[in-house]
Amino acid sequence: MSQESELPAREGMDYDVVIVGAGPSGLAAAIRLKQLDEGLSVVVVEKGSVVGAHILSGAVVDPIGLDRLLPDWREDPERPLKTEVSADHFLFLGPSGGVRLPNAPMPKLMDNHGNFIGSLGATVRWLGARAEALGVEIYPGFAATEILYGDGGEVVGVATGDMGVGRDGKPKASFTRGMELRGKYVLIGEGARGSLAKQLIARFGLDAGRDPQKFGIGLKELWQVDPARFSRGLVQHSFGWPLGGGASGGSFLYHYDDNLVSVGFVVHLNYVNPTLSPFDEFQRFKTHPMIRGVFEGGKRLAYGARAISSGGWQSVPKLTFPGGALLGCSAGFVNFARIKGSHNAVLSGIQAAEAAHEALAAGRAHDELAAYEEGWRGSEIGRDLKKVRNVKPLWSKLGLGLGIGLGGLDMWTNELFGGSLFGTLKHGKPDHATLKPLSEVKPIAYPRPDGKVSFDKSSSVFLSNTNHEEDQPVHLRLRDPLTPIRDNLPRYGEPARLYCPAGVYEVVYADEARRADPRFVINAQNCVHCKTCDIKDPAANIDWTPPEGGGGPNYPDM
């Protein structure tokens, strides 16, 4: 990379509030700021080519956040969430059959009636339009790559990445210098495992005294199904098969709008077997006799993957630092038992905006938004996360049967009596530290895809419309380039080959027959920005950094 001092100075622009990420959290913050004071200057930068291009979610949306932000949203003919949940099914699957569990013993918080099914990508496009109508400046196609600090170490803005830098780090003819966006406050709404959030958490020690953040990888496809197999408003979750061997997770299947079915599978990233492939678990899941019928005769429209945070109450870092705050999934506000985070993303955007507005109105800048940090545990977000705080630790420690049973009981006691017999259980190790060596596990063999309901990785990645400028520095940075072949390959079979849902990582041999002279290859242009490698590499050796703005998936309505 060229030396910073050799490059022309960056141009800058000043705002009251700079927001990174046009997801539900960032856009909710932008809208709330303008609702509170239309004179505030607010800018949002988004690395996707358009707003929504990098958004992937279920999505069954609890409307609590939207009701608070835009109370008229249900009357808006342009609203993207038009399908209300009409049926809520839970399945427990075995290899060749399964049972539907009765709804009555389910804790009330798991009930999806009153929620809406739709595309979160479409929802943020609509939120983006609402924000622009209020005067928010939104710049899609620009990744925030650097945090700007003031003389006292406070955050004073972000810089967007330079464009037109070659693979060798040298400026090309098309070189354009990034911009400095300076703000009195900077709100970080990058979603799960944000690259700037990761730096801020480390620099300000925001995770001190908290449990490690936990994650899952969520893989999703969007299907247009045969109308005879469609049931508008049906929400279905399953657990059990195909996961085994201590791995946990489950599926979702949501029927909405006109014959659309959103199907996905979440694998918790604390799995231990390095031969597990989340992508292949997902493909295998769709072939189950109780599932495959939904997709027969249908058309797969889109594919993608994204990490989802799951540590909840115990893992939320301190939200504020001098000059800014973390929002939504950058803070880990997912209610993992409900597989929902978009409502809390919106609520956190609102809360941070209110704290920032109060500070600005008092003439403050670049200090801590203490009201936001002090308020969330007693707010709807805290109440939502606290009730389910023991579910994940119980699943992880006790396995499927006992863990799910006790987790359910714990949600009931929290709901009925406002407390838990277990207090607050701790999460185990960070997800990168959970793999066992190959010598201690039974390798998992996956069936070949049938090309009808199950597919291979390359045809799937094709459906994510992923596109990156090829002549740019590799955005997946290895702290030690020797680790993959020297350590990960003999010990774990280099698990990046399997956990990456886009086939970015490969081990190729100069002599394939003798498996001699292995080389680690990074096909960075395929990356769908899920962030799993940044989380699961056993040596924590991979840093995901933003590539040139506009690169990455182009999800239509995920």
Q: Which residues contact 419 (CB under 8 A, 6 or more apart)?
A: 413
The interface mask with ligand SF4, positions 447-476, x = CB under 6 A, is -----------------------------x
- Confirm or reject binding of residue 531 to ligand SF4 (CB under 6 A): yes
Residue 531 binding: pick among ligand FAD, ligand SF4, none (C-beta 5-8 Å cut-off by kind): ligand SF4
Q: Residue 215 interacts with ligand SF4 (CB under 6 A)?
A: no
Measured from the CB atom, is 47 or 427 closer to ligand FAD? 47
Tokens coding 113: 């009636």
Which of 121, 186, 529, 550 binds ligand SF4 (CB under 6 A)? It is 529
**Cα 355 to the chain's mean position, in Å?**
25
Site size toward ligand SF4 (CB under 6 A) is 13
Give Cβ neighbours of residue 349 (< 8 Å, ≥ 6 apart).
24, 25, 26, 27, 28, 29, 30, 31, 32, 69, 187, 189, 327, 328
196 binds, options ligand FAD, ligand SF4, none, Cβ within 5 to 8 A by partner type: ligand FAD
In the DSSP assignment, the letter for residue 158 is E
When CB distances are held under 5 to 8 angstroms depending on the partner's kind, the choice from ligand FAD, ligand SF4, none that residue 476 binds is ligand SF4
Which residue lies nearer to ligand FAD by CB, 86 or 420? 86
Q: Tell which one of 42, 61, 463, 535 touches ligand FAD (CB under 6 A).
A: 61
Question: How many CB atoms within 10 Å of residue 428?
Answer: 16
- Nearest of 520, 190, 208 to residue 331 by alpha carbon: 190
- 533 makes contact, choosing from ligand SF4, ligand FAD, none, with CB < 5 to 8 Å by partner type, with ligand SF4
Contact partner at residue 387 from ligand SF4, ligand FAD, none, CB < 5 to 8 Å by partner kind: none
> Which of residues 40 and 345 has its CB atom nearest to ligand FAD in the complex?
345
Per rule CB under 6 A, is residue 334 in the interface with ligand FAD? Answer: yes
Helix, coil or strand: residue 394: helix
- Cα of 214 vs its chain's centroid, Å: 12
Q: Which of 189, 274, 311, 550 binds ligand FAD (CB under 6 A)?
A: 189
- Among ligand FAD, ligand SF4, none, partner that 341 touches (CB below 5 to 8 angstroms by kind): ligand FAD
Q: 255, 214, 99: which is closest to 536 by C-alpha?
A: 214
Whole-number Å distance between alpha carbons of 315 and 335: 12
> Is residue 553 a contact point for ligand FAD (CB under 6 A)?
no
Is residue 146 close enough to count as binding ligand FAD by CB under 6 A?
Answer: no
Q: What's the min distance (Å) between Cβ of 79 and ligand FAD?
A: 16
CA distance 273 to 248: 12
Q: How far is the CB of 23 from ligand SF4 (least distance, A)?
A: 16
Question: What are the backbone angles phi and psi of residue 249, rounded to the nearest 5°?
Answer: 155, -160
Contact flag: residue 56 with ligand SF4 (CB under 6 A): no
If DSSP states are collapsed to H, E and C, what string results for 494-554? Answer: CCHHHHCCCCCEEEEEEECCCCEEEEEEECHHHCCCCCHHHHHCCCCCEEECCCCCCCECC
Site string for ligand SF4, 488-507 (x = CB under 6 A): ------------xxx-x---
> Which of 530, 547, 549, 551 is close enough to bind ligand SF4 by CB under 6 A?
530
Q: How far is the CB of 113 from ligand SF4 (least distance, A)?
A: 34
**How many residues are listed for the chain in this entry?**
558
Rounded CA separation 319/334 (Å): 15
Among 112, 160, 320, 532, binds ligand SF4 (CB under 6 A): 532
Residue 500 binds which of ligand SF4, ligand FAD, none (CB < 5-8 A, kind-dependent): ligand SF4
C-alpha dist (Å) from residue 455 to 186, 252, 452, 463, 465: 42, 18, 7, 11, 16
Q: What is the CA radius of gyration of the chain?
A: 23
Based on the shown chain and the rule CB under 6 A, indicate whether residue 81 belongs to the binding site for ligand SF4.
Answer: no
Terminal Cα-to-Cα distance of the chain (whole angstroms): 35
Q: How many residues bind ligand FAD, per CB under 6 A?
A: 46
- Contact with ligand FAD (CB under 6 A): which of 48, 128, 312, 430? 48
Q: Which is nearer to ligand SF4, 24 or 547 (CB)?
A: 547
Member of 493, 527, 548, 557 binding ligand SF4 (CB under 6 A): 527
Q: Rounded to a whole number, what is the largest CA-CA distance in the chain? A: 70
By CB under 6 A, is residue 360 in contact with ligand FAD? no
Nearer to ligand SF4, 242 or 501 (CB): 501
Phi-psi region of 552 (alpha: psi -120 to 50; beta: other; left: phi over 0): left
Of 186 and 535, nearer to ligand SF4 (C-beta) is 535
| C-beta neighbour count of 354 within 10 angstroms | 19
List of residues 6+ apart from 453 with CB closer than 8 A: 286, 287, 292, 295, 296
Which of ligand FAD, ligand SF4, none does 46 bind, CB closer than 5 to 8 A by kind?
A: ligand FAD
CA distance 309 to 213: 7
Between the CA of residue 157 and those of 185, 331, 365, 498, what are the distances in Å?
8, 19, 12, 37
Sole window of 53-61, 287-295, 362-370, 397-405 interacting with ligand FAD (rule: CB under 6 A): 53-61
Nearer to ligand FAD by C-beta: 343 or 468?
343
Q: Six-digit token pair at 404?
A: 């799910």
Pick between residue 413 and residue 465 the one whose CB is nearest to ligand FAD: 465
Which of ligand FAD, ligand SF4, none does residue 314 bind to, with CB < 5 to 8 Å depending on kind? none
Residue from the set 23, 118, 157, 323 that interacts with ligand FAD by CB under 6 A:
23
> Which residues of this protein are in contact with ligand FAD, per CB under 6 A?
20-26, 45-48, 54-61, 120, 143-144, 189-191, 194-196, 218, 220, 264, 266, 306, 308, 327-330, 334, 339-343, 345, 546
> Which residues of this protein are in contact with ligand SF4, per CB under 6 A?
476, 500-502, 504, 527-533, 544
